Amino acid sequence: MFYSLIRPALFTLDAERAHTIAIKALKALPAGKPARPGGPLETTVAGITFPNPVGMAAGFDKDAEVADALLGLGFGFVEVGSITPLPQSGNPKPRLFRLEKDRAVINRMGFNNGGAEAAAVRVAARGDRPGVLGINIGANKDSADRIADYAAMTRIMAPDATYLAVNISSPNTPGLRALQDEGALVELLDGVLEARGETGPPVFLKVAPDLQPADVDAITRIAMDKKLGALIVANTTISRPELASAAARETGGLSGAPLKPLALETLRAFRKAAGGAVPLVGVGGIATAEDAWERIRAGASLVQLYSAMTYRGPGIAKQLTKGLVKLMKRDGFTSIAQAVGSEAP
């Protein structure tokens, strides 16, 4: 209710400035108690116990500044980043646009972050605080060897990450999505897995929604061969469905409600290709408990959101988890794992 009162004022500000204010507010306010395992929504993916399947996607907390505050809002896990080896300012401003009529966002941020060294200090300072923390890693825009960047990020971040998310699907770093090609992806993952070592955290791979069927099959085959912890399906889209907002023609990745049909279709494609052999994380256009439940029934073991919080406020995680408990009981399931991939063919 409070957010609905202040949202009009926030929406008068430039989107990136409003986001900066949100981060500062979360840093200033005392963190709530994180969700604990043991409730009806507890689930296990890649050997990790998640107190609930609703996570904050990468992009909100780029520099790992407010992970505990987000966990205190009721998220079952938080993914920070994308973080690159060296600090970089990202693309020129303005680069973040609300599409209010479409309940969407377009961004062309370009992996703006303060770099691995500063982020690693903040993450290590968490110590043994409870909560599942994913660290999303990327490569510097001007890197001469992007695969080496990912390996370096793995070595730096693995000790303090519950899982690592390899982001090769952002449309805002030129050439990055080429790493989804089969040969490049094998080389990249070999480098990451070698850098992680035998005892490091699970590795998740974040993919684009703008893939051809052959790409889905190849990526799934590689994920199974490399024993990845999960596939995160999917990042923002470069496609443009019919949009009503003035900023619709801005370049960058589109997220929010218009991404939902494509993200759901892509998730189903990966579920069919994997046959349940690789866990999936559903992301893109999730704003309600019904959206999250649909993604779980379609094959996602976990879900993530980000853009929806812009429109619905910081209480969204608790709203979704309460709704998921009701939907699970309504449909006769006793666990999230039991519901994964249970939609009618």
Is residue 38 assigned to a domain? Answer: yes
Beta-strand ranges (E) seen in the chain are 43-45, 48-50, 54-56, 77-83, 96-99, 104-107, 132-137, 163-167, 203-207, 230-233, 253-256, 280-283, 302-305
Is 240 assigned to a binding site?
no
Instruction: Note the pLDDT tens digit of each residue in 305-341.
Output: 999 999 999 999 999 999 999 999 999 999 999 999 9
Residue 273 lies in domain? 2-339
Query: Looking at the domain assignment, is residue 202 inside a domain?
Result: yes
* pLDDT, mean of residues 253-259: 98
Catalytic site residues? Answer: 170
Residue 143 C-alpha from the chain's centroid? 23
Over residues 161-201, the pLDDT tens digits come to 999 999 999 998 988 898 899 999 999 999 999 999 999 99
Question: Is residue 344 in some structural domain?
Answer: no
CATH of the domain at 141: 3.20.20.70
The answer on whether 97 is annotated among ligand-binding residues is no
Q: In the predicted model, what is the mean pLDDT of residues 78-102?
A: 98
Let me know if residue 230 belongs to a domain: yes
Residue 219 makes CB contacts below 8 A (sequence gap 6+) with 180, 182, 185, 205, 207, 211, 231, 270
What percentage of the chain has pLDDT greater than the value 70? 99
Whether residue 345 is contained in a domain is answered as no
Q: Is residue 312 part of a domain?
A: yes
Tell me the CA distances in angstroms from 55 to 51, 83, 267, 288, 292, one per residue in order.
10, 18, 17, 13, 11
Long-range contacts at 180-185 (CB < 8 A, ≥ 24 apart)? 180/207, 180/208, 180/211, 180/215, 180/219, 182/218, 182/219, 182/222, 184/147, 185/218, 185/219, 185/222
Q: How many structural domains is the chain composed of? A: 1
With respect to residue 292, please indicate whether it lies within any of the assigned structural domains: yes
Helix (H) or strand (E) run with residue 263 in it: helix 260-274
Q: Is the pTM of this model over 0.95?
A: yes
pLDDT tens figures, 287-311:
999 999 999 999 999 999 999 999 9
> Any known ligand binding at 227?
no
Q: Is the pLDDT of residue 104 over 90?
A: yes
Among candidate residues 267, 262, 289, the one with its CA nearest the CA of residue 279: 267
Are 108 and 250 in contact by the 8 Å Cβ rule? The answer is yes
108 in a known ligand binding site: yes
